[in-house]
Amino acid sequence: MNDDRPSSDNTSHKTWFDRLSQALLREPKDREQLVDLLRDAQRRNLLDADALGMIESVLQVGEMQVRDIMIPRAQMVLVSREATPDEILPIIIDSGHSRFPVVSDNRDEVVGILLAKDLLRYRFDGGALFDIKDVMRPAVFIPESKRLNVLLKEFRASRNHLAIVVDEYGGVAGMVTIEDVLEQIVGEIEDEHDIDEDTFIRKRNDTSYILKALTPIEDFNEYFGAHFSDEEFDTIGGRVIQAFGHVPKRGESVNIDSFEFKVLRADNRRVHILALQVLPPAAASTAAAG
Note the pLDDT tens digit of each residue in 115-146: 988 887 776 555 457 788 888 999 999 999 99
Does CATH number 3.30.465.10 belong to domain 201-289? yes
According to the per-residue pLDDT averaged within each range, which of 81-85, 197-201, 217-221 is highest?
217-221
Contact 217, 286 (CB under 8 A): no
C-alpha span between 249 and 251 (Å, rounded): 6
**Exposed, middle or buried by CB within 10 Å (0-12, 13-18, 19+), for 66?**
buried
With bands split at pLDDT 50, 70 and 90, how would you rate the model's confidence at 289?
very low
Domain edges within the chain: 13-61, 67-186, 201-289
Spatial CA neighbour of 45 closest among 19, 26, 22, 11: 19
Q: If you average pLDDT over residues 46-51, what whole number do you get?
A: 71
Residue 221: beta bridge partners? none
* For residue 223, pLDDT beyond 90: yes
Residue 216: beta bridge partners? 235
* For residue 34, pLDDT beyond 80: no
Per CATH, 67-186 and 201-289 having the same topology is answered: no
Which letter does DSSP use for residue 230 in this model?
Answer: -
pLDDT of residue 192: 47
pLDDT of residue 215: 92
Contact 215, 200 (CB under 8 A): yes
Strand order in the sheet with 71-72: 71-72, 172-177, 162-166, 141-143
Pairing, β 110-115 against β 141-143? unpaired
> CB neighbours of 209 closer than 8 A, spacing ≥ 6?
201, 202, 203, 275, 276, 277, 278
Q: If you average pLDDT over residues 29-40, what whole number do you get?
A: 71
pLDDT of residue 8: 47
Q: If you average pLDDT over residues 244-268, what whole number do you get?
A: 86
C-alpha span between 200 and 235 (Å, rounded): 11
Percent of the chain past pLDDT 70, that is, above it, reads: 75
Say which CATH topology domain 67-186 has: CBS-domain (3.10.580)
